[in-house]
Amino acid sequence: MIRTLTRTMDVIVVALCLAASAGCAVGGAQLDRVDWEKARLVDLTHAFGADTIVWPMEQDFRLIVQHAEDTPGGYYYASNRIEMPEHGGTHIDAPIHFSRGKQTLDQIPIKHTVGGAIRIDVQAQCTRDRDYQVTVRDIEQWEAAHGRIPDHSIVLVDTGFSGFWPNRKEYLGTELRGREGVRTLHFPGVHPDTAAWLVRERQVRAVGIDTASIDYGQSATFGSHVALLSHNVPVFENLADLRGLPETGFDVIALPMKIAGGTGGPLRVIAVLPH
């Protein structure tokens, strides 16, 4: 009886939602639906290919053609195989990447990678200093101009470095590979104190950046990785094209490949802007 009643209520709510074209208010909460015809979608993903930038210790992305031919059956058939590091190109870091026992890639709730987002523009600072680390002061200045970052936001850090992609020397600060390459990395990131502040004070859902790492290139302790991932806050790295986004008023949908036991993996990530 109760189940039937609940069902009936659901149907009524759905019917009411469909009747309201702009949005749907249930119990006081405004559940606006995206108007996909009018929304502007921005792809924040670099295409994966031979020029995909990977960490100096990693092997390059490889696409191996297996089939690309007309068959005796009369149809054309094409199929490739791919090889890639988890942490190359546009990708997500799962909490276990820097925090023992935490979520693997397949265990990250979808809710943690989808939601309202803001963009923090630190291009000027990073142009002056390619070893720049985003400070709490930068966040406070952003809030003075745009209002308090809503709790549970996805925070995107725009260093402008996506503009260097796929030039390894400009993007990473080095073309060297292996340990020598790691020692000579020079690109901006988020200061560990700022990462901890975002978790503690704003309960951020996820943090993304348009460089190869959320910690700046010269980091030896990866404090921002630890601060975020140990609190189950996923990290998006090597994001593309943040420069076209507004500061506020958009959503991010970031859906990684669901690799069982993965410490990270390739990410297709988009921003959804209302028209």
Q: Which stretch, 27-35, 71-79, 85-93, 203-211, contacts Zn ion (CB under 5 A)? A: 85-93
Q: How far apart are CA 44 and CA 178, in angstroms?
A: 28
- Closest residue by Cα to residue 58 from 40, 32, 84: 84
For residue 120, the surrounding DSSP H or E stretch is strand 114-121
Taking the complex as a whole, the smallest distance from the CB of residue 234 to Zn ion amounts, in Å, to: 10
Q: Which of 46, 88, 93, 267 binds Zn ion (CB under 5 A)?
A: 93
Q: What is the C-alpha to C-alpha distance for residues 209 and 58, in angstroms, rounded to an integer?
A: 20
**Stretch binding Zn ion (CB under 5 A), from 13-21, 162-170, 230-238, 249-257:** 230-238
Least Å distance between CB 237 and Zn ion?
5
Which of 173/266 has CB closer to Zn ion?
Answer: 266
Give the list of residues 6+ apart from residue 128 with CB closer than 8 angstroms, or none. Answer: none
Give least dist CB 97 to Zn ion, A: 6
Span near Zn ion by CB under 5 A; candidates 77-85, 98-106, 137-145, 261-269: 261-269
Nearer to Zn ion among residue 119 and residue 225 (C-beta)? 225
**Binding-residue total with Zn ion (CB under 5 A):** 4
Minimum Å gap between C-beta 24 and Zn ion is 38
- Give the separation between CA 175 and CA 167, rounded to whole angstroms: 9
**87 near Zn ion (CB under 5 A):** yes
Distance, in Å, from the CA atom of 49 to the CA atom of 43, rounded to the nearest integer, reads 16
Angle at 44 between CA 41 and CA 47, to 5 degrees: 115
> How does 1-29 read in b/e, with b if 16+ C-beta sit within 10 Å?
eeeeeeeeeeeeeeeeeeeeeeebeeeee
Of 102 and 146, nearer to Zn ion (C-beta) is: 102
Instruction: Pick the piece of the chain touching Zn ion (CB under 5 A) from 34-42, 90-98, 138-146, 198-206.
Output: 90-98
Minimal distance, residue 75 CB to Zn ion, in Å = 40
Ordered alpha helix ranges (H), 25-160: 123-128, 136-146
Question: Which are the contacts of 41, defined by CB distance < 8 A and separation ≥ 6?
Answer: 270, 271, 272, 273
**129 to 158: interface string for Zn ion, x by CB under 5 A:** ------------------------------
CB of 243 to Zn ion, least distance (A): 22
Cis peptide before 166 (omega within 30 of 0): yes
**Nearest residue (CB) to Zn ion, 173 versus 234:** 234
Minimum Å gap between C-beta 148 and Zn ion is 29
Residues that bind Zn ion in the complex, under the rule CB under 5 A = 87, 93, 237, 264
